[in-house]
């Protein structure tokens, strides 16, 4: 038995030495940061709340042509993301706890390079940031990129103003009864917010980022009878909102007081009879060059179905205000279209996490659906 044991030990030693030699031949790993390929109009930024592990939200960067995930940025617990006006930076409003999901809470505006995804700045702000589902308007940049506006809820609503240039907290603006942020394009010191009494509050800042004036618009919608979705499409100083019952409401926020236009309906009398209504978390999108609006719609709608997924996606010509197309909705709760030539429309399913791509050229046409990409995505922005 003894010689056999020696033989076994020798064999084991030989194998171990051989394995060590093989391991020694492997190259040493080097760590680095890859850069994203040059952005094109089809790059997508998908905010995923990952509701099953709430503290680990993320922003996925996806090639909208190939559906390849190119990278991601951490959003923390219920963080919100937006892009700087020149698309060179990703701005993240978020909060962290010292013991992951409890303990002392501290809040920050994190700034990432949109090419390398490196963290460029961490700006401390009061711990009041709204920890809610990602929506456009929860964090926005001023038109010139100097100020960043963050939606607060304590539960009282207010807006944190961050001076991005100086890298510091500038002020907190109380906005009681009003929600979400809609910056003006023509005045970088101005933003508006939608109010539950059917008006819009416009805040004009001074040079230090503090509120210099506050003016409310006339009442232009009834939140009890036909509320507005807070996710709106911006074109310069004009924002297009959609109501729960299918009316389009345009508001110009360029002046000291927001100026609402006359609403117009997406739905005909026959559509109303069939119960067709818009639904989802980001239910409308506008392709500016072709002047077309796309909206996710579902039939048999009623009070409480305003977040239902799209049975169909409808296309409208904004000049004539007429429907020009309708296609299956692929369970979309978020719709977003690219700008420029050869546009693509994307539909994100919050429930399934899938992305559907449509040709948004002359005729709306489904091209492919892939995924899942997100666990609980409610915001999708193109480059």
pLDDT tens-digit map of 213-228: 999 999 999 999 999 9
Q: For residue 25, what are the CA distances in angstroms to 15, 22, 30, 190?
A: 16, 5, 15, 62
Least confident of 91-100, 270-279, 372-381: 91-100
End-to-end CA separation in angstroms for the chain: 73
Average pLDDT estimate for 276-288 = 98
User: How much is the pLDDT for 8?
Assistant: 44
Residue 87 half-sphere exposure toward CB, CA atoms < 13 A: 11
Residue 100: pLDDT band (50, 70, 90) is confident
> Residue for token digits 């360029």?
254
Instruction: Note whether 162 and 125 are within 8 A (CB).
Output: yes
Q: Would you state the structure tokens that stand for residue 211, as one six-digit string?
A: 């509120």
Quick one: which of 84, 86, 76 has its CA closest to 47?
76
User: How much is the pLDDT for 20?
Assistant: 53
Q: For residue 76, what are the CA distances in angstroms to 118, 300, 350?
A: 16, 37, 19
Average pLDDT estimate for 52-59 = 91
**Chain mean pLDDT for the chain:** 93
Quick: pLDDT tens for 9-54.
444 544 454 455 555 677 887 776 678 998 999 999 999 999 888 8
Quick: pLDDT tens for 297-326.
999 999 999 999 999 999 999 999 999 999
Task: Check whether the bond before 64 is cis (ω within 30° of 0).
Answer: no
Quick: pLDDT tens for 172-200.
999 999 999 999 999 999 999 999 999 99
Q: pTM of the prediction?
A: 0.90
**Separation between Cα atoms, residue 339 and residue 29, nearest integer Å:** 41
**Separation between Cα atoms, residue 347 and residue 290, nearest integer Å:** 19
User: How much is the pLDDT for 87?
Assistant: 95
User: How much is the pLDDT for 190?
Assistant: 98
């Amino acid at each position: 038995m003894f010689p056999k044991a020696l033989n076994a030990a020798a064999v084991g030693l030989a194998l171990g030495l051989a394995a060590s030699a093989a391991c020694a031949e492997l190259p040493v790993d080097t760590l680095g940061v890859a850069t994203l390929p040059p952005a094109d109009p089809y790059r997508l930024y998908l905010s995923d709340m990952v509701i099953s592990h709430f503290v680990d939200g993320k922003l996925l960067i996806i090639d909208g042509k190939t559906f390849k995930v190119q990278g991601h940025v951490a959003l923390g617990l219920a963080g919100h993301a937006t892009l700087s006006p020149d698309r060179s930076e990703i701005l993240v409003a978020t909060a962290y706890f010292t013991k992951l999901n409890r303990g002392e809470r501290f809040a920050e505006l994190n700034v990432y390079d949109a090419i390398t995804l490196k963290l460029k700045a961490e700006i401390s702000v009061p711990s009041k940031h709204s920890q809610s589902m990602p929506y456009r308007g929860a964090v926005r940049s001023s038109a010139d990129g100097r100020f960043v506006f963050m939606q607060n809820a304590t539960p009282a609503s207010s807006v944190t103003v961050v001076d991005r240039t100086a890298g510091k907290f500038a002020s907190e603006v109380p906005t009681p009864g009003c929600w979400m942020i809609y910056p003006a394009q023509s005045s970088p010191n101005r933003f508006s917010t939608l109010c539950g009494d059917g008006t819009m509050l416009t805040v004009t800042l001074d040079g230090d980022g503090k509120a210099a004036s506050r003016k409310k618009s006339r009442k232009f919608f009834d939140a009890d009878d036909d509320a507005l979705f807070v996710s709106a499409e911006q074109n310069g100083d004009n924002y297009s909102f959609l109501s729960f019952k299918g009316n389009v409401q345009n508001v110009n926020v360029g002046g000291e007081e927001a100026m609402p236009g006359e609403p117009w309906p997406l739905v005909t009398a026959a559509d109303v009879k069939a119960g067709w209504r818009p639904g989802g978390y980001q239910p409308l999108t506008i392709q500016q060059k072709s002047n077309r609006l796309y909206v996710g719609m579902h039939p048999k709608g009623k009070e409480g179905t305003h977040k239902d997924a799209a049975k169909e996606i409808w296309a409208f010509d904004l000049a004539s205000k007429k429907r020009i197309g309708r296609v299956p909705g692929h369970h979309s709760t978020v719709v977003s279209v690219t700008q420029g030539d050869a546009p693509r429309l994307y539909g994100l399913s919050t429930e399934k996490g899938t992305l559907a791509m449509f040709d948004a050229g002359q005729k709306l046409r489904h091209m492919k659906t892939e995924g899942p990409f997100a666990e609980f995505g409610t915001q999708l922005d193109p480059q």
